[in-house]
Amino acid sequence: MKRFKLNRKKALKYTGVLLLILSVLAIWQRELIAYGLLQLAGQLEVMNNSRRFEELKKDTNFPDSLKAKIKIIEEARKFGMEKLGMKSSQNYTKIYDQKGEDILWNVSASYPYKLEAYEWKFPIVGKFSYKGYFDLEKAKKERDRLKNEGERINDKTIKFDTNIRSVSAWSTLGWFEDVLLSTNLERDEGDLVELILHELTHATLYVKDSVSFNENLANFVGEEGSKLFLEEKYGKDSEELNDYIFSLQDSKKYRNFMLLASSSLDSLYNSSSFLNEFSENQKEIAKQKYLNFIKLKIDTVSFSNKNWSKRFQERELNNTNFMSVRRYNSSQDTLKIIFEEKFNQDLKAFLKYFADKYPSL
């Protein structure tokens, strides 16, 4: 009987200590916990109010044109899992109706005078160079905090270049069943297949603290996988495949332009005079002068769709734009060499190589 009381006292003592620790953590990380709850609520809203493909295909009020897009998604999922060895899941078997409105936004930030991304740290998943919000006003608040207040780093207040962009798709990395947003049904077939394979790549392999690698790999697999899908479905010389390949040309021209421009901007930031002689005001003047030069240079790119140049020149350009292109595209040439020379364009073996090589979240 005494032993029972002793154990009970110890249990109460340890429970009290544990509750105290949890209380301290809750106070210390209250902003992180509040953010996590906000994101969870947004994710549950999407999941709980989405509709299964099977239900939509039976709905006589659901347009046949959109049912055809659902069929493409189902084919892309099957292709990715069976032909490319992607992880089997129920991801992208449901659709959430956005009613034409954006529902998720990413905030990104970069140091003002070097091409280095600001990173947010999260438990378990590690560092990310962007932060998602289901609430636009909260996204703007975080952007304004970094832009106007900045953060104290090495005894110096740094005010960051910032950007907000809407998000059309995301992967929860296996934590939840991923849902397709309805606006994606407006995409052409090749683009839609690319999106699905991109996100399924994340669900198959996502390396902690390696956002650039993860996005570059998913971009590469998405594009190459979409080509293989269209070739298998329609034929090597098909109009569908050729149209998709043609559609990639402008985006690749833009990527190459931005990667080259980012290298030149990097050289400016790392020049001896910029680092050692320029005042903060002189640095800002030199930076803006070069950014304006880059805006003018976009006219030298032979886009098929001239809206690429127009949209670029209307944009408020800063370091985050270059970091975004690097994040998704800086390793495309390297991955292509590995894909062709080491794996003889066997995309399944290529993806398996990386999945076996790196531990995934």
Q: How far apart are CA 304 and CA 243, in angstroms?
A: 13
33 in any annotated domain:
yes
Q: How far apart are CA 243 and CA 219, in angstroms?
A: 19
Q: What is the pLDDT of residues 270-282, one digit of tens each?
A: 999 999 999 999 9
For 22-45, b/e burial (b = at least 16 CB within 10 A) is eeeeeeeeeeeeebeeebeebbee
Nearest Cα residue to 197 out of 176, 213, 178, 182: 178
For 87-116, b/e burial (b = at least 16 CB within 10 A) is beeebbbbbbeeeeeebbbbbbbbbbbebe
66 in any annotated domain:
no
CA 274 to chain centre: 32
Question: What's the confidence (pLDDT) of residue 43?
Answer: 94
Question: What's the confidence (pLDDT) of residue 25?
Answer: 42
Question: What's the confidence (pLDDT) of residue 170?
Answer: 93
221 in any annotated domain:
no
Q: Which domain holds residue 27?
A: 2-47
The full length of the chain comes to: 361
136 in any annotated domain:
no
Burial class (CB in 10 A: 0-12, 13-18, 19+), 235: exposed
Question: What's the confidence (pLDDT) of residue 8?
Answer: 56
35 in any annotated domain:
yes
Backbone angles phi, psi at 181, to 5 degrees: -85, 145
Nearest Cα residue to 102 out of 183, 171, 187, 194: 183
What residue type is assigned to position 335 of the chain?
Answer: L
34 in any annotated domain:
yes
174 in any annotated domain:
no
Residue 24: both structure tokens together: 């301290």
Contact between residue 205 and residue 355 where contact means Cβ atoms under 8 Å apart? yes
Question: What's the confidence (pLDDT) of residue 5?
Answer: 46
H/E stretch holding 127? strand 126-128
- Could you give the number of structural domains in the chain? 1
Which residues of the chain register pLDDT less than 70?
A: 1-29
Q: What is the pLDDT of residues 34-43, one digit of tens each?
A: 898 899 999 9
Burial class (CB in 10 A: 0-12, 13-18, 19+), 191: middle
13 in any annotated domain:
yes
